[in-house]
Amino acid sequence: MILKTMCPDKTQRTQETENEPVELTSTQYLIETIEQLQANNENLKLELTKARRIPSGKIGITLIIPGALSLIFSIMNNSQVLAFIGLGLTFWGALFFFVRPIKYVKSSLLDSTAISSYHTIDRIIKDLKYKGKSYYIPPYPKEIYLPEHLKGLKNMIVFISEDSGPDMPSIEEIAKSKFLLKTPKGICVAPPGLGLLTQFEKELRTDITKLELTDLCDSLPQLILENFQLAKEIEMKTEKNQVHLKIYDSIYKNLYSREQNLKSIHFLGCPLVSAITCAIAKTTGKIVTIHQDKTSLDGQTIEVWYRFIEG
């Protein structure tokens, strides 16, 4: 009788030990894939930085300086020839200095650079059999001092839970900057719109953690439309314990199409929706989740409802 009761335990342990290497290999492969995607993202950032380093400013200065000198000498020598030369050089120098070319990219290229990340997240969720939600957890403000073992709290992260339960990871778990969490079960990933959020903050020239939510809802859509042209129209409204976002003709609208069939796009949001989620979380200092999203039949309009979660 003793042997009979012990045999099932041994069999179960054997199966668990056999499954562990498979799970570890799969998880390690997915982590390596994410790291590769992040490396590709950094390479794209470097290429964009190089594209912005256009020598038009230097050309403008080299034309303005001799132009100004020519104007000075024309006044001293009463020379019309030097005056015309000086005016011409100064004009073209100012033109090169202030009017700088901008490098545009097709929206389809932006889709292709983003879609690989969503496919990877979809695969992770499928392999781990997660059916939970995503929670945007705001970082601690930069000016607040944190000891070395809590430095991970300075990063904006998205926690994807195993189920739809209300449990959130502890501060200690978040600070470890781990990918897989055990208590509660879930994964932590970087928001797909984190890069856009950084650009928004640079253009706003304001610490968004010090803004009121109503001010953010007024200023952020205007910034996105005028400075980045990522959509034709954006509406943001606060409604009790949630925020309603409406985007018309977003450059990321194709990510929501049935052809792509992305699962993670609905709980992470496209890069633009994700960036706005990050901004809301940082401004309010609260955990934010995408409660619901909806696209119009023609695919031109994206609606998102955010909700706040008490941590």
Whose tokens are 């132009």? That residue is 67
DSSP element (H, E) containing 137 = strand 134-137
Distance CA(61)–CA(67), nearest Å, equals 10
Q: What residues are paired with 180 via a beta bridge?
A: 187
Looking at residue 2, what is its pLDDT?
39
Between CA 49 and CA 55, with CA 53 as vertex, the angle to 5 degrees is: 170
Mean pLDDT value across residues 235-245:
92
Confidence of residue 305 (pLDDT cuts 50, 70, 90): very high
pTM of the full predicted structure? 0.69
Q: What residues are paired with 236 via a beta bridge?
A: 245
Whose tokens are 């490098």? That residue is 103
Mean pLDDT of the chain: 79
By percentage, how much of the chain surpasses pLDDT 90? 32
**Torsion 208-210-216-222 (CA) sign:** negative
Mean pLDDT value across residues 181-206:
89
Answer with the residue of higher pLDDT: 55 or 276: 276
- pLDDT surpassing 90 at residue 292: yes
Longest dimension (CA), the chain: 118
Looking at residue 248, what is its pLDDT?
96
The answer to whether the bond into 192 is cis (omega within 30° of 0) is no
Looking at residue 1, what is its pLDDT?
42
- pLDDT surpassing 90 at residue 235: yes
- pLDDT surpassing 50 at residue 267: yes
The residue type of 72 is I
Task: Note the pLDDT tens digit of each residue in 26-79.
Answer: 666 666 666 666 556 655 554 554 554 455 666 767 777 887 888 787 788 877
Query: What burial class does residue 288 get, using C-beta atoms within 10 Å of its C-beta: 0-12 exposed, 13-18 middle, 19+ buried?
Result: buried
Mean pLDDT value across residues 245-264:
91
Looking at residue 167, what is its pLDDT?
82
3-state secondary structure 159-212: EEECCCCCCCCCHHHHHCCCCEEECCEEEEECCCCHHHHHHHHHHHCCCHHHCC
Task: Note the pLDDT tens digit of each residue in 125-179.
Answer: 999 889 888 999 998 876 677 777 777 787 899 999 988 777 888 888 888 888 8
**Torsion 110-41-258-224 (CA) sign:** negative
Structure tokens at 36: 């590769």
Looking at residue 178, what is its pLDDT?
86
Distance CA(24)–CA(18), nearest Å, equals 11
Backbone angles phi, psi at 152, to 5 degrees: -65, -15
By percentage, how much of the chain surpasses pLDDT 70? 74
Looking at residue 53, what is its pLDDT?
47
- pLDDT surpassing 80 at residue 94: no
Q: What residues are paired with 303 via a beta bridge?
A: 246, 294
Structure tokens at 82: 């030097």
- The alpha-helical segments, DSSP class H, found in the chain are 2-52, 56-77, 80-98, 107-128, 171-175, 194-204, 213-223, 265-268, 271-284
Q: Which of 103-117, 160-174, 274-288 has the lowest mean pLDDT?
A: 103-117
